[in-house]
Amino acid sequence: MPEQLWAPWRMRYIKEDKPEGCIFCDKAGDGDDRTNHVVWRGKTAFVLLNTYPYNNGHLMVAPYAHIGDLDELPLETLTEIMALCQDAIKALKKDFNPDGINLGLNLGAAAGAGVKDHLHVHVVPRWTGDTNFMPVLADVRVIPQSLDHAHLLLSRAFAEIKGGEA
């Protein structure tokens, strides 16, 4: 009998209507970092887990300001976003031990941006052989770790890297 693969958190994304407003503005302004899976807050930008990740540990780095174009970001924000990307890579290497990392921006709907009006950088850990038959045949990815557990590990790692508290 074949084993069952479970990814129950994805059903909410599949069935629910997509939220109104901006998820980045909403999560940044809510203040409940644990529930929103915000792992670190900087002065002009923050780091959070993707609720519907490509891989476990899939982080996003976004400015607090609702800005969709890279050329509109103030230099201070751009600099902090890139520094937080470096920290995200360090945090992922510490606890997730990836074989590689994808780092990228999708600018505009034609580029694949799901949230086109609020710039964000994807930081996605990758492992050799992490693509298997599921995404190829069924357009499904199996994430082997809960968001809450990933949040706990990455919040602690950021606190160590930044010298603060999780």
* pLDDT bucket at 137, cuts 50 / 70 / 90: very low
Token reading at 16: 């629910």
What pLDDT is attached to residue 52? 81
The verdict on whether 58 is a catalytic residue reads: no
Contact at 8 Å (CB) between 63 and 77?
Answer: yes
Q: What is the pTM of this model?
A: 0.79
Nearest to 101 by CA among 132, 121, 123: 123
How many Å apart are CA 44 and CA 148, to the nearest integer? 24
* pLDDT bucket at 16, cuts 50 / 70 / 90: low
Q: How confident is the prediction for the chain on average, in pLDDT?
A: 84
Contact at 8 Å (CB) between 63 and 53?
Answer: no
Tell the CATH topology of 23-162.
HIT family, subunit A (3.30.428)
- If you average pLDDT over residues 115-135, what whole number do you get? 80
Tens-place pLDDT, residues 27-66: 999 989 999 999 999 999 999 999 888 788 999 999 999 9
What pLDDT is attached to residue 140? 58
Contact at 8 Å (CB) between 100 and 80?
Answer: no
Give domain limits for the chain: 23-162
Partners of 122 in beta bridges? 60, 104
- 76 Cβ neighbours under 8 A, 6+ residues apart: 43, 44
DSSP 8-state code for residue 3: P
Token reading at 77: 């924000």
Q: Which of 37, 120, 122, 151 is catalytic?
A: 120
- If you average pLDDT over residues 128-134, what whole number do you get? 63
